[in-house]
Structure 1
Amino acid sequence: MTALRIRARDVLTEDQLIVVRERKTWKGIALIAHAWALIFSAIALVAVWPNPFTYLLAVAIIGSRQLGLSILMHDGAHGCLAADERINLSLSQWFCAYPVFAETRAYRRYHLRHHARTQQEDDPDLVLSAPFPITRMSYRRKFLRDITGQTGYQQRKAQLLNALGPAEWPLARRAAHFWGQLGPQFVTNAILFSLCAIVGVWWAYPLLWLVPLLTWMMVITRIRNIAEHAVVPDSSDPLRNTRTTRANVLERLFIAPYYVNYHLEHHLLFYVPCYNLPRVHRILSESPHVGRMEVQPSYLAVLRLATAKPDHEDRSGELVNSARRARAGAHIGADQTAGGF
């Protein structure tokens, strides 16, 4: 099957395209600074008022900003963080990708195939949306694996084994391969740990960086994947094989940071910086295409669609699900990304 194509000039005027394509370096830096400011503020909150409530709140905030850093890395993969590509790549790598154990260039190579073949048989991200709809029981099992860190552990384990290379390789070759795959990521995380230790909160690295990375970030990454491409109306129509989800203030804080909910607009114009996607959405909402666009009112509405399969049809399916998880884990390990976008 071949997806339909819509040209940019079919939905926006030349003047509108000029405006929404403009990449302002200061805005990219401001979004990165915002993410890190929230992360450090959440750590400070727990350091000053250590109790279960502030800790859980901090985990949710930090996990959402870790997803936010992945989203900004995604913008960097599209060359949208800065006007200059060298600055764009540096910002994307050192301040977004490496801290969450990702890598912009590896992500870019596979992600552009997703844009070219969205929801087609050879879409590399199809494994993330194809199983849906599922039952609520199935989603509860997935949620439990995500929130308890099982999903995150399996993904990081696959990533680490991939970086180490085959066991039969000589030690020097394995070390060189590991450094090429994950060296900068470990250096960046060592810096994060050192900063925490210097200010007297060394415990913040394992409890307020690694725990959110392995738990809440996994929960909302799955929700984001579902919202973007699962149970879409038409896999061949670019206005209906990708979804935009309206997000309120709480959803933007805890689930969908930095305009990631405007996914339909991103797929139509993937060279537009994320901060211009709301403007693209407003333009499309006033166009003749508005009736065809796949837009849902909230993430809860999307989850209802994605879990519409009756529970009596569940039949556990753990063998099939285990195989899917293994494939997804290998996919994520190889590409050093949470997938999707």
Structure 2
Amino acid sequence: MAEVDGFDPYQPYRSTLLTPERVRALSQLRPGIVVRDAVLCWATIIAAWTIASWDGRAWVCLLAAVFVGSRYYALYIMGHDGLHRRLFPTRAANDRFNDLVILGPIGAITRLNNRNHLAHHQYLGHAEDPDRFKHACFNKSERLELAAFLVGITSVWRAAHNVLVGNRATGDGYTVRDLAILGGWQVALIGGLTAAFGWWGYPLMWLLPVFVFTYLADLCRSFLEHSHPEADATADHHRLITFESNAFERWFLAPMHMNLHVAHHLWVGIPYYNLPVADAEMSQHPLARELERRGSYLAYLWRYWRALPLDECKPAGRLA
């Protein structure tokens, strides 16, 4: 996170918890791990589709959809590293792999989508953060607001708007190469899933699982990893939280070690597969005790829910 108006509460941790030498060592890329993990995720997705198509029973298709959505979420987290260009050593190789193998199926392109995410890192804790609507409490001060946010009612348009407006502001757009990748994926997904399942294959075995287990899961994770049940002016000074969590929650909410979110935000150059080492080493420093660590994602969500309504989070015009 960059300093804005003299405010960067995390610089002392970034410069102290790990030495520059360790950060450089942990930032070394190993593309073989990326290729392996991507192959395993896609193999699981394809296996789920194959078994569901062969069996055909509703509960088997439902279970397969869960695997499709959750394993694509693991790919999406890898794609998040791709937005930081931390998959392959060169920008060209990173973007090619990220677009062709990871982001293309959901209509995203690294060159266009990374601006929004990099701005989130730069301006976390500030009004300029494009993802502020995900974790601030001003739009989650009541239970109905929180519920509407978590199911996507109040967040889908805002998320799409941030990316589209950012691209329009820079005058950038999709190239022939981009459209070929996006179009090729949609033709393959629609054609393949329609052939395997019928007309409902694409919407119910791809769009719905990705929306629920990737988009909504990532929305929920982002909220939980940056939020506090308190006024935003106070919360802005300690937005970074690591979740130790459990295997079940990590599978659905924080695959690929994304629960170790403090280490990621402090050193964005460290790839996902090295975050456990970075987290373990930084935790040995006495200063790390000042950074918040939580246990269960769901336990914190319940704590936030019970704290509502938060009058200090409501806009002035809505206060009684």
TM-score (norm 1): 0.75
Hey, what does 1:260 align to over in structure 2?
258
**Identical pairs, percent:** 25
Hey, what does 1:339 align to over in structure 2?
none
Gaps of 5+ in 2: none
Hey, what does 2:63 align to over in structure 1?
57
Q: CA deviation at 1:267?
A: 0.5
185, 189, 197: which one aligns with 1:188: 185
Question: Given the superposition, is the C-alpha separation of residues 181 and 152 from structure 1 closer, same or farther in structure 2, using an over 3 Å criterion?
Answer: farther
8 Å Cα contact 2:245/2:294 also seen in 1: no
Amino acid at match of 1:61: F
8 Å Cα contact 1:135/1:309 also seen in 2: no
4, 19, 33: which one aligns with 1:13: 19
Q: CA deviation at 1:102?
A: 1.5
Hey, what does 2:125 align to over in structure 1?
119
CA RMSD of aligned residues (A): 3.5
Hey, what does 2:221 align to over in structure 1?
224
Amino acid at match of 1:185: L
Secondary structure of residue in 2 paired with 1:295? strand
Secondary structure of residue in 1 paired with 2:290? coil
What is the CA–CA distance in structure 2 between the aligned matches of 1:270 and 1:157, rounded to whole Å? 24
Hey, what does 2:203 align to over in structure 1?
206
8 Å Cα contact 1:79/1:88 also seen in 2: yes
Q: CA deviation at 1:311?
A: 5.5
Hey, what does 1:215 align to over in structure 2?
212
Q: CA deviation at 1:15?
A: 4.3
Amino acid at match of 1:106: L
What is the CA–CA distance in structure 1 between the aligned matches of 2:161 and 2:118, rounded to whole Å? 23
Secondary structure of residue in 1 paired with 2:257? coil
Amino acid at match of 1:298: S
Gaps of 5+ in 1: 166-175, 321-341
Secondary structure of residue in 2 paired with 1:76? helix
Question: Given the superposition, is the C-alpha separation of residues 86 and 251 from structure 1 closer, same or farther in structure 2, using an over 3 Å criterion?
Answer: same
Hey, what does 1:140 align to over in structure 2?
147
Secondary structure of residue in 2 paired with 1:6? helix
What is the CA–CA distance in structure 2 between the aligned matches of 1:205 and 1:152, rounded to whole Å? 23
Amino acid at match of 1:217: T
69, 83, 93: which one aligns with 2:89: 83
Q: CA deviation at 1:31?
A: 1.9
Show CA shifts across 1:171-192 (max 9, x none). Answer: xxxxx97978866323222123
Hey, what does 2:8 align to over in structure 1?
3
Secondary structure of residue in 2 paired with 1:18? helix
Q: CA deviation at 1:25?
A: 0.9
What is the CA–CA distance in structure 1 between the aligned matches of 2:67 and 2:265, rounded to whole Å? 27
Show CA shifts across 1:251-270 (max 9, x none). Answer: 22222211121111100000
8 Å Cα contact 2:135/2:224 also seen in 1: no
Question: Given the superposition, is the C-alpha separation of residues 243 and 15 from structure 1 closer, same or farther in structure 2, using an over 3 Å criterion?
Answer: same
What is the CA–CA distance in structure 2 between the aligned matches of 1:263 and 1:312, rounded to whole Å? 25
Secondary structure of residue in 1 paired with 2:120? helix
1:130 aligns with 2:128: no
8 Å Cα contact 1:3/1:235 also seen in 2: no
Deviates more, 1:271-280 or 1:227-236: 227-236
Question: Given the superposition, is the C-alpha separation of residues 44 and 155 from structure 1 closer, same or farther in structure 2, using an over 3 Å criterion?
Answer: farther
Count of residues paired in the alignment: 299
1:26 aligns with 2:37: no
Amino acid at match of 1:50: G
Question: Given the superposition, is the C-alpha separation of residues 45 and 116 from structure 1 closer, same or farther in structure 2, using an over 3 Å criterion?
Answer: same
Question: Given the superposition, is the C-alpha separation of residues 61 and 254 from structure 1 closer, same or farther in structure 2, using an over 3 Å criterion?
Answer: farther
What is the CA–CA distance in structure 1 between the aligned matches of 2:215 and 2:85, rounded to whole Å? 25
Q: CA deviation at 1:213?
A: 2.3
Secondary structure of residue in 1 paired with 2:89? coil
